[in-house]
Amino acid sequence: MPLTDADAVSSLTRNGRSVNQRPPALHRCEVRQVADILREARGCRFCGLDQTVWIFLLAHGGGLALLLCTDTDLSLRVSGALSGKGSAIVSDVAVTVTCLSAIAAQCLLFFRLYRSDPGWVRIGCLPEGPAGQQCGYCSAVPPERSRHDFNTGQCVAKFDHFCPIIATAVGDCNHCMFWLYCVLQSFLILWGLALALDALLPCLLGDSVSKAVCWGPRAWQSWLHVLAVLLLVPCLNVFGGLAIAHAYLAATAQTTYEVVKGAKVPYLQEHYRAYAGPRGFPCSAKGVRSLLWHLMRGPLPPAPYSRGIAENLNVFFYAAKPHSYWQQNNGMSDKL
């Protein structure tokens, strides 16, 4: 049952905010812009943009400026392409165009993702497939595998996680785009790391003349390259790890929420209870502990929604999603 106003005031969320401070949920299938839903959840804004966009722009703009304003292979090739001189002009132009295209594609992907609909469950609509229990927070009747997202105050179909990098939830409708974003970001980081190391290694392992040049009048450039390497290595771990982990989730038709929570997820409890692998699965062990337990002692239970790797990937990448989750339910919607 939906919470009453009195319940809403007295209850506390996990974040310590009262329920009535949450962003409002969608009502009666009304069409609202995703940007409107997220504006209140994203909070701090400066010059019309919130901090997530600023972090993205500053990180990418700063990284590109660092590589272009110091002596790197990229800056040499870009200056070669712009001047039209040099023996390797074709490859210089190719590298310059590739670099700009990759960054433009990443910006486009970021803003598409930033404004994307992860699969908001409209209140007053019923899912076409199996329905989950009515949400006690926003009163939506979501499809199975949905979860209420406390950051945006909405239920999200096939909820994966709330991603602070893009300041929105990742769900069925934008999971594929999120994976592409992680992959492209990993390649960009790897590229930047290779350029920084290419400029830095002669300064560390080169002959005495190279070291004297690097750590003499151009020492500031060398220190910037050291800083770039120190920042890019952990970033590569994060995005590379996300790309690999979500490729696994896509191939096995699972979500981060389901993997992390394990037998604790309400709609998976029956499946876990029924599973009796080679050594049985302990339903008492939950979350990460259950994962670790089984990684050490035996195989995990098969993902209940998996239909084989090929079909899972087909659903993840190509299948049309939003309209398969909800439809206008004339008459019924007024009673919810």
Minimum distance from residue 139 beta carbon to Zn ion (Å): 7
Task: HSE, CB side, 13 Å, CA atoms: give it for residue 157.
Answer: 26
Minimum distance from residue 2 beta carbon to Zn ion (Å): 10
Q: Which is nearer to Zn ion, 138 or 253 (CB)?
A: 138
Q: Is there binding between residue 148 and Zn ion (CB under 5 A)?
A: yes
220-to-69, 71, 166, 200, 224 alpha-carbon distances in Å: 11, 11, 33, 12, 6
Minimum distance from residue 41 beta carbon to Zn ion (Å): 14
Scanning 68-76, 91-99, 152-160, 259-267 for contacts with Zn ion by CB under 5 A, the matching segment is 152-160
Please tell me the distance from the alpha carbon of residue 187 to that of residue 81, in angstroms, as a whole number: 23
Minimum distance from residue 132 beta carbon to Zn ion (Å): 10
Residue type for position 68: L
Residues between 107 and 146 that touch Zn ion (CB under 5 A): 135, 137-138, 140
Please tell me the distance from the alpha carbon of residue 149 to that of residue 169, in angstroms, as a whole number: 7
Minimum distance from residue 263 beta carbon to Zn ion (Å): 22
Residue whose beta carbon is closest to Zn ion: 135
Structure tokens at 46: 């400066």
Structure tokens at 329: 């339910």
Supply angle C-alpha 144, 147, 153, rounded to 5: 135
Residues between 305 and 334 that touch Zn ion (CB under 5 A): none
> Total residues contacting Zn ion (rule CB under 5 A)?
6
Minimum distance from residue 328 beta carbon to Zn ion (Å): 19
Q: Is there binding between residue 249 and Zn ion (CB under 5 A)?
A: no
Residue type for position 278: P
Q: Which is nearer to Zn ion, 148 or 294 (CB)?
A: 148
Q: Which is nearer to Zn ion, 122 or 225 (CB)?
A: 122
Minimum distance from residue 25 beta carbon to Zn ion (Å): 7
Q: Which is nearer to Zn ion, 155 or 214 (CB)?
A: 155
Cβ-contact 150, 14 below 8 angstroms: yes
Q: Which is nearer to Zn ion, 122 or 148 (CB)?
A: 148
Q: Which is nearer to Zn ion, 52 or 146 (CB)?
A: 146
Question: Among 155, 163, 180, 228, which residue sits at the site for Zn ion (rule: CB under 5 A)?
Answer: 155
3-state secondary structure of 255: coil
Instruction: Count Cβ atoms below 10 Å from residue 216 Cβ, excluding itself.
Output: 9
Cβ-contact 105, 177 below 8 angstroms: no
Q: Which is nearer to Zn ion, 72 or 152 (CB)?
A: 152
Count of positions (residues) in the chain: 336
Residues between 28 and 87 that touch Zn ion (CB under 5 A): none
Residue type for position 286: K
Alpha helices in the chain (DSSP H): 5-10, 34-42, 51-69, 73-83, 89-114, 175-205, 208-214, 219-252, 256-261, 269-274, 287-297, 309-317, 332-335
Minimum distance from residue 267 beta carbon to Zn ion (Å): 15
Residue type for position 206: G
Q: Which is nearer to Zn ion, 22 or 294 (CB)?
A: 22
For Zn ion, the binding residues (CB under 5 A) are 135, 137-138, 140, 148, 155
